[in-house]
Amino acid sequence: MLSTSRLFALSVFVFLISMFSWSTVYTSTANGSYDDCSIWTPSCPDNSIQLGDTVIVNHTIIASSSMNIKGVLITNPSGVFSNSNDIDIDALGTIYNDGSFSCDGELHIDGYVYNSGDLFLDFFHIDGYVCNTGVITVNGQTYIHGGIIECGGDIITCEIDMQNNSSSQVVTGSSGSEISGQNVCCSSSPSTNPFDQFSGNWSIDSVSVSICLDPLIPNAGDDASLELCNSAGSSINLGTLLTNNTGGVFNELTASGAFDSSSGVFNADGLDAGEYNFMYVVYGYNATSDTSYFNISVVGVLTSTEEITICENAFPFDWNGIAITEVGEQSVLLSSLITGCDSLVTLTTNTNPLISATEEITICENELPFDWNGLSLTEAGTESVLLSSALTGCDSTISLNLLVNAIPTSTTDTLVCGSQFPISWNGSVINGEGTQSVTLVSASGCDSIATINVSVDQLSAPIIYSDGPVSCPEDVVRFSVDEEPNAIYYWSGPEGFSSSDLSHEFALSENLMGIYSVYYTLNSCSSDETSIDLEIENIFEFKDFKFPNVITPNNDLVNDEIVIENYVGYCADFILTIRDRWGSEVYRQERGDSSFDGDSVDGRELPEGVYFYRLSFDEGDVSGFMHIVR
Q: Which strand (E) or helix (H) includes residue 298?
A: strand 289-299
Tell me which amino acid residue 196 is.
Answer: D
For range 580-603, the mean pLDDT: 91
- What percentage of the chain has pLDDT greater than the value 70? 93
Architecture of domain 224-299: Sandwich (2.60)
Which helix H or strand E contains 384, and what residues bound it?
strand 381-388
Q: Which of 569, 611, 613 is nearest to 591 (CA)?
A: 569
Domain boundaries, the chain: 4-215, 224-299, 302-352, 355-405, 409-457, 464-534, 542-628
Other beta carbons within 10 Å of 507: 11
Domains 224-299 and 464-534 agree in fold: yes
341 contacts 304 by C-beta, under 8 angstroms: no
Asked if the model's pLDDT at residue 244 lies above 80, the reply is no
**Other C-beta atoms lying within 10 Å of the C-beta of residue 17:** 17
Maximum mean pLDDT: which of 77-81, 402-406, 625-629? 77-81
Mean pLDDT of 459-474: 88
pTM for the whole structure: 0.45
Q: pLDDT: is 447 or 520 the higher one?
A: 520
pLDDT for the residue 54: 97
How confident is the model over 273-293, as a mean pLDDT? 88
pLDDT of 3 strictly over 80: no
Determine the Cα–Cα distance for residues 490 and 71; give it in Å rounded to an integer: 79
Among candidate residues 57, 58, 51, the one with its CA nearest the CA of residue 15: 51
Contact by Cβ (8 Å): 504, 469 = no
Query: Whole-angstrom Cα distance, residue 265 to residue 245?
Result: 15
- Write down the pLDDT at residue 464: 93
The CA-CA-CA angle for residues 476, 478, 482, to 5°, reads: 170
pLDDT of residue 12: 43
Instruction: Please tell me whether residue 460 adopts helix, strand or coil conformation.
Output: coil
Q: Does the pLDDT of residue 417 top 80, yes or no? A: no
Q: Could you tell me what percent of the chain has a pLDDT over 90?
A: 50
Q: What pLDDT shows up at residue 16?
A: 46
Quote the pLDDT of residue 389: 72
| Torsion sign, CA atoms 367, 372, 376, 382 | negative
pLDDT classification of 220: cutoffs 50, 70, 90? confident
2 pLDDT exceeds 70? Answer: no
Specify the pLDDT at position 303. 75
How does 95-110 read in b/e, with b if 16+ C-beta sit within 10 Å?
bbbbbbbbbbebbbbb
| Interval 231-241 mean pLDDT | 90
State whether CATH 2.60.40 applies to domain 542-628.
yes
On the question of pLDDT at 541 being above 70, the answer is: no
d(CA 148, CA 112): 10
Q: For residue 165, give the 3-state DSSP assignment.
A: coil
Tally Cβ neighbours within 10 Å of residue 268: 25
Q: Is the pLDDT of residue 52 over 50?
A: yes
Average pLDDT over residues 147-157: 96
Q: What is the DSSP string of 201-263?
A: SEEE-TTT-EETTEESS------EEEEEE-STT-EEEGGGG-SS-SS-EEEESS--S-EETTT
Q: Which residue, among 32, 158, 29, 14, has the nearest Cα to 96 in the 3D structure?
A: 14
What is the pLDDT, as a whole number, of residue 189?
Answer: 66
Please report the beta strands in 84-209, taking only residues with DSSP state E, as ranges in sequence order: 87-89, 94-97, 100-109, 112-115, 118-126, 129-132, 135-138, 142-145, 148-150, 154-156, 160-163, 177-179, 183-185, 195-199, 202-204
pLDDT average, residue stretch 363-376? 85
What's the CA gap between 519 and 523, in Å, rounded?
Answer: 14
- The per-residue pLDDT for 4 is 46
DSSP type of residue 604? P
> What is the pLDDT at residue 123?
97
CA distance 520 to 445: 46
> For position 116, what pLDDT does the model report?
97
409-417 and 447-457 beta bridge pairing? parallel
* pLDDT averaged over every residue in the chain: 87
The domain defined by 464-534 folds into: Immunoglobulin-like (2.60.40)
